[in-house]
Structure 1
Amino acid sequence: MSSDNDLLVGAGLVVSVLAAAALLPRSAKRDRGTDIAALPSRKSRPRPGASVRAARRLNRAAGMLAASVLADSSVEHYRGSFKNKAMYTPLVVSALTLATSAHGTADMRPFAHRLRDGGYLLAAATGLMGTGFHVYNVTRKVGGFSWQNLFYGAPLGAPMAILLSGLLGFCSERVRETSRSRRPHVFGLPAARTIAAVTAAGLLGTSGEAGLLHFRGAFHDPFMAVPVTLPPLGAAMLLNAAARDPDKTHDRRHRLTRVWMWLLAAMGFAGVGFHAYGVSRNMGGWRNWSQNVLNGPPLPAPPSFTGLALAGLAALGLMREHPDA
């Protein structure tokens, strides 16, 4: 009976989010702070430029995060035998978000898409609900919020990856629909700096999740300290870039930040290799992959850093082309 209720709740969530998204483009235009009558018609708007390039970069970042969530939740929820039917939800939603991001990456038009908006809003809502489920999973265990339950219960930070994917994708649609003659805004704030701040918060949260699990592993390998040191430094660089006065910001000042973002992107892929090595060190190695992949370090988790780094690069690129964004 509870499974049927979970499915009904999930279906209701999908319908409500898509219905809200259908009304979003009209309301979004009213929130721009610019008279719509003064804007050029769709046919006479400038050709796609910096805003579309930044939007497509954000689509790629959202897609990378969605791919990481899809693979990671598939493994982890399979290990949990899908005991709760709601555990299928992140698989479906992350696959939808990945397809949505691929569509956005290929779209060269400077207009927001209603279905993409709906898909990204659904991903964000799923991340919020998933966090609630994971908090409940930890608190219902004996001892509540204890180190034991935080180590071996549902990971509290995992659902936030699909939330970030949806939020970055939603921001991409707001940036995309900005004409070349106007400053890109997100929620009434300068787009590039807002995205940089959101990405920095995501890097800090993801680094904290990695730190918790690597602490469980006693940091037995020195390289386990990398994802808890490099991302916070990258987050500080992004926050510094977001806080700078646009009139005093020069491209060369962000050069180190861009290099650091590329370093974090590479770190995400390198992390998969380190986790694969960790799997091979378990009894039976890759010959016993069906058990060791489930019990070893999660292979799909590190690319979430790559997705966030791509979002940081998108924010810096938009900041370079629109210094006041």
Structure 2
Amino acid sequence: MAARSLHHAAALLALSVLLDSAIEHYRGHFENPGMFAPLAASLAASWAGARAGHTRANGTIYATALATGLAGTAFHAYNLARRPGGLCWQNLFYAAPLGAPAALVLAGAYGLAATRVASKAPATLLGMPSGRALSGLTAIGIAGTVAEAGMLHFRGAYHRPAMWLPVTLPPLSVAFLLRAASGARDRLARACLGLTALLGVAGVAFHANGIARQMGGWRNWRQNLLSGPPLPAPPSFLALAIAGRAALQLQERGRMR
């Protein structure tokens, strides 16, 4: 069921944000009390998505997650702009990342979309058929995730060939989802989303191996979890692939009516 898949995508994306924010904000010593907000919002959104319910409370949780993500994106952008040099590669590499709060926005949006498509048939989102709207949204989400992965892997000098995978495979899904958003039909879209989902799983293994290769490996996990490749990042590809397949399912359902 498309609505259930969207709930699960929201849950997984929120969990990724929760773990990533917990690590990054711990590294920042929770200097600003607002740094606790995304942890609470993502935890609640992950719980709501895992339950896959359609209650009014879940809608409130998702809306709160979306608003928290928007506020976090604005705060991270402000943090980046006020650093010496402003918008430059150095600050994009090391300032507060824009991708994490944006992922929380997506988690909230998917959760809200799930409640709408479950309660209204055929559902529309932003004046568009739900399948087409979600295809476009997911294409944007995957493109943003590719950009962030590409930037961080560039910082790592692409020292392993596997680091090219997140910037070569997911863009195929972006292209097919954009075609779907325009109303086109393509059987290769599901296959590309499957590869993107597989990359999300394999990426955790690659990042775990990257942590193991650091000085002290997993025995020095307290330091290497902070300085090594982020474990919570790759599952976002899996979550977005799940949402993309749900969007295609909604589009197919709309054609059958």
Normalising by the residue count of structure 2, what TM-score does the alignment of the two structures yield? 0.96
Structure 2 Cα separation of the partners of residues 283 and 137 of structure 1: 31
AA partner of residue 13 (structure 2) = L
1:114-125 counterparts in 2 under 5 A?
114-125=56-67
**Who is 1:76 aligned against?**
24
Alpha-carbon contact 2:132-2:183 (below 8 Å) kept: no
SS at match of 1:158: helix
Instruction: Give the drift of 1:113.
Output: 2.4
CA distance in 2 between counterparts of 1:187 and 1:55 reads: 17
Other structure's SS at 2:255 match: coil
Structure 2 matches for 1:176-191, cutoff 5 A? 176-179=118-121, 183-191=122-130
Residue 249 (structure 2) pairs with residue 317 (structure 1): yes
Deviation at 1:83, TM superposition (A): 0.8
**1:64 aligns to 2:12 (yes or no):** yes
Amino acid at match of 1:267: L
Query: CA–CA distance in 1 between the matches of 2:136 and 2:117?
Result: 15
Letter in 2 for 1:123: A
Distance in 2 of aligned mates of 1:315 and 1:156? 25
Partner Cα separation in structure 2 for residue 84 and residue 158 of structure 1: 17
Cα displacement (A) at 1:132: 1.1
Matched, 1:257 2:205: no
Q: Choose 1 or 2 for highest CA Rg.
A: 1
Q: Aligned-pair RMSD on alpha carbons?
A: 1.4
CA deviations 1:100-145 (Å, max 9, x no partner) are 11222xx4xxxx5211111111111111110111112112221111
Name structure 1 gaps, 5 residues minimum: 1-52
- 1:285-321 deviation per Cα after TM superposition (whole angstroms, max 9, x unaligned): 1111110110001000010011000000111112222
Task: Name 1:144's counterpart in structure 2.
Answer: 86
1:55 paired residue number: 3
Would you say how many aligned residue pairs link Structure 1 and Structure 2?
257
Which among 193, 216, 222 is matched to residue 284 of structure 1?
A: 216
Report the AA paired with residue 133 of structure 2: T
Of 204, 207, 228, the residue aligned with 2:167 is: 228
* Structure-1-length-normalised TM-score: 0.76
**Post-superposition, which runs of at least 4 consecutive aligned residues in structure 1 deviate over 2 A?**
none
Asked if 2 retains the 8 angstrom alpha-carbon contact of 1:190 and 1:324, the reply is no
Please state whether the residue corresponding to 2:99 is helix, strand or coil: coil
Partner amino acid, structure 2, of 1:149: N
